[in-house]
Amino acid sequence: MTKHNLKHIKTLSLCVLIAFTSCKDNEKKETSMAQTDNILLKEWTGPYDGVPAFDKMKVEDVKEAVLKGMELGLEDIEKIANNPEPPTFENTIVEMERSAEELGRVFTYYGILSSNMSSPEFRDVQAELAPKLSEYNSKISQNEKLFERIKAVYDASQSTPLEADQQRVVDLTYKSFEMNGANLDAEKKKRYAEINKELSSLYTKFSNNVLHDEENYVTYLNEDQLGGLSESFVKSAAKIASDKGQDGKYAITNTRSSMDPFLTYSTERELRKQVWTNYYSRGDNGDEYDNNDLIAEILQLRKERVGLLGYDNYAEWRLQDRMAKTPENAMDLMMAVWPAAIARVKEEVADMQAVANASGDNITIEPWDYRYYAEKVRQNKYDLDSEEVKQYLQLDKLTQALFYTADRLFNYKFTPVPEGSVPVFHDDVKVWDVTDKDSGKHIGLWYLDPFAREGKRSGAWATTYRSHTTFDGDETVLASNNSNFVKPAPGEPVLVSWDDAVTFFHEFGHALHFFSSNVRYPTLNGGVRDYTEFQSQLLERWLSTDEVINQFLVHYKTGEPIPAALVEKIKNAATFNQGFGTTEYLASALIDMKLHLADPENIDIDKFERETLSELNMPKELVMRHRTPHFGHVFSGEGYATAYYGYMWADVLTADASEAFRDAPGGFYDEALSEKLVKYLFAPRNSMDPAEAYRLFRGRDAKIEALMRDRGFPVPKS
């Protein structure tokens, strides 16, 4: 999952393109800025073209900074809207690209405080600011004079086209304003803005409710309840418990990074059930932090809002500018894969039940058993022990593997920045200088925040603090990757699962997408949601290459390379458990889409989820990857609303592109194909239509058959 929080505010329910880049000085802005010494608003100073002052940010500065940033941003917009000169690309669109520089800086800090360093104090400020930010966006999207100028530039470009990238900026800007109500009458605009304001508060509350449940449901174990757990996991759990004031106990926190290995290895079935229940009940505990009613309200407001624009449902409105174009196309893809996925689950459950029976366990496979018995099947069928593989997956070595891949494909060199020379927001964060290996040109900085902690949201994501543009000078990139690995006990290595290693490569793919950007205007650093996951999903494939395996997968104690026989087992088991992985994901994607196609009036969220999954013949032995009450992708904002299918859409491209590398003379490191990869799939960002970019790389459109082969599913006959 990627998150961008600098170049454009796509705050809450809006996707208004408001650029945050180097702003030209003007007397009015200098006067306004003289009134505040708030560090969050100040221009970045120091090395590397300036860096955020993360070491000086304080929660108490946030409210003032956001309010002042919005004030200055609206001054920029009013100046553009009231320009007496006839509207042109330069004096309207480009000036919009330059606007709201200060607020952009504030949102870099805001994003960190929200995602990496949240606190009750910040959440209070966040809740207070959410509706104000929505109002700010509405004041821009509903500024009639501004839209008249945008429309004039857009209309003129239809008869006299601009340069290709300029035309795309104009088209995207006009479409964004149009989709967000710029053509509505005054009464409808008023209601549109009111809805966005209401939604902004609901999104914030949803997110904070989930975070509450992640922080407050902890399972503490005694020494006699550690059966099956690895030594490193036990040491980490002891350290976490001690940090929480529970010396002598072992803490299983309510996050995926803690839950997943516990469910995979713990021999304590009742405790597995408890940990599973805690995790999958986030936002669904019938208390003041329950999200079901919030979701119903969100769905009703979304439908009402797009109804003002003349759309039948939210999905129809949202997908018009995505690769899928329509909900029907997205559903067709998902339903083409779904039958094969659930059929594979049936086979996997039969294998697991056989293992349980043979062991005399006298149980029927339940959701909290799936990972545990799947691991036993993996060991039986492929003689592959995930814990054995983990001994060769050290976080430090995997980081070096990322750099090796970036070197071979992108010609990038990563050099550690001396500690203390660049401000960071937590001692866990490390920074690298990214340069072109041959010329030495500075590309940017890469920040890595790898460990879970209280106040940090779960999962893994990438973000930018500054994106690359060239229209006002050649700006370097500040990008970060954020994970939730369980921090080890002092002196112990960080060992991760194969799945976590894949995710590490995935998120680094987003970072490489940021670093390789070769666009002129900030708007073009955005992306089409069902395409932007493609590049990162593709980069996952390099973890499995011989070059990475042979160099970086070494035993954490002996330093010996991973045995060839174990590598062969890993490759043989590549499609193992694909029923589980595909089904838990697709269930979430299907529920996302079906919720937004349904009539939300008087909707019972729990009942809808249960009945819809039943209609889909969802296997009872597993659940959605993200159950609706904690589905933050969809209900803590709108980035993935009706767009969670996009991972599958992107995976069709990924599987197809992977076959191109597999068949290339130089394999996954083929120089000619790597050049095309960077030129057409990474560097353009959103400066060209994604479908055309893929055709330039592949010579044709992607085919779903590659996806089915990749997952070991039957390939449908043409």
More confident position, 293 or 639 = 293
* pLDDT category of residue 205 using cuts at 50, 70 and 90: very high
Q: Which amino acid does the sequence have at 518?
A: N
Cα–Cα dist 3/640, whole Å: 11
Q: How far is C-alpha 647 from the chain's CA centre?
A: 10
Query: What pLDDT score was predicted for residue 203?
Result: 97
% the chain with pLDDT above 70: 95
Query: What pLDDT score was predicted for residue 472?
Result: 86
User: Residue 623 to residues 125, 263, 294, 585, 676: CA-CA distances in angstroms?
Assistant: 35, 14, 21, 9, 40
* pLDDT category of residue 23 using cuts at 50, 70 and 90: very low
Q: Indicate yes or no: pTM above 0.95.
A: no
Interval 637-649 mean pLDDT: 94
pLDDT at 8 over 80: no
Q: What is the residue-averaged pLDDT of the chain?
A: 93
Interval 396-408 mean pLDDT: 98
pLDDT at 511 over 70: yes
- Provide the Cα torsion 301, 303, 309, 310; round to 10°: -150
pLDDT at 30 over 70: no
Query: What pLDDT score was predicted for residue 716?
Result: 80
In tens, the pLDDT along 247-304 reads 999 999 999 989 999 999 999 999 999 999 999 999 999 999 999 999 999 999 999 9
> How many other β-carbons are positioned within 10 Å of the β-carbon of residue 683?
18
CA neighbor of 390 nearest in space, from 460, 493, 487, 482: 493
* 475 in Cβ contact with 469 (< 8 Å): yes
Query: What pLDDT score was predicted for residue 24?
Result: 32
Radius of gyration of the chain (CA): 25
Interval 108-120 mean pLDDT: 96
More confident position, 472 or 120 = 120
Cα–Cα dist 186/134, whole Å: 17
More confident position, 31 or 453 = 453
CA neighbor of 320 nearest in space, from 538, 528, 470, 143: 528
Query: What pLDDT score was predicted for residue 718?
Result: 62
* 93 in Cβ contact with 156 (< 8 Å): no
CA neighbor of 101 nearest in space, from 84, 77, 85, 117: 77
pLDDT at 1 over 60: no
What length is written for the chain? 718
Three-state DSSP state, 619: coil
Cα–Cα dist 668/702, whole Å: 18
Query: What pLDDT score was predicted for residue 530?
Result: 87
**Domains in the chain, ordered, with CATH?**
27-211 (1.10.1370.40), 217-280 (no CATH)
Q: Which residue has the tokens 């779904």?
A: 338
* 429 in Cβ contact with 448 (< 8 Å): yes
CA neighbor of 636 nearest in space, from 307, 339, 171, 207: 207
* 673 in Cβ contact with 659 (< 8 Å): no
In tens, the pLDDT along 211-220 reads 999 999 999 9
The contacts of residue 370 (CB under 8 Å, 6+ apart) are 263, 349, 352, 580, 621, 622
